[in-house]
């Protein structure tokens, strides 16, 4: 996992907690809290997706979540967002 990277000109930093089931995704200084949600059992090849507080989208990694948020901002920049 990338702990820090740049995407579309935005600086991203990801900090996982010790158990790796919660993260803070910071984009240009703005923090987003994220939690890992699982469905099923490990022996059944269960689904593990990350969800941002207050968002209705889930992603396979915190990096994917950060990229989605940045693309969303880019699409809506200058439209009151």
In a domain, 36, yes or no: yes
- Give the domain range for residue 31: 4-76
In a domain, 62, yes or no: yes
- Supply 51's token pair: 């969800």
Question: For the chain, how many structural domains are there in total?
Answer: 1
Contact 34, 50 (CB under 8 A): yes
| pLDDT by residue, tens only, the chain of 81 residues | 669 999 999 999 999 999 999 999 999 999 999 999 888 887 888 888 999 876 778 899 999 999 988 988 766 765 544
In a domain, 72, yes or no: yes
- Supply 34's token pair: 């994220």
In a domain, 12, yes or no: yes
- DSSP letter for 15, please: E
User: Is pTM beyond 0.85 here?
Assistant: no
CA triplet 70, 71, 74: central angle to 5 degrees?
Answer: 85
In a domain, 81, yes or no: no
């Amino acid at each position: 996992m990338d702990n820090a990277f740049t995407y579309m000109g935005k600086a991203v930093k990801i900090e996982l907690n010790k158990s790796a089931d919660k993260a803070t995704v910071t984009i240009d200084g703005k923090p987003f809290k994220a939690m890992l949600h699982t469905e099923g059992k490990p022996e059944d090849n269960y689904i593990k997706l990350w969800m941002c507080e207050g968002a209705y989208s889930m992603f396979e990694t915190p990096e994917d979540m950060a990229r989605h948020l940045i693309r969303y901002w880019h699409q809506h920049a200058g439209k009151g967002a």
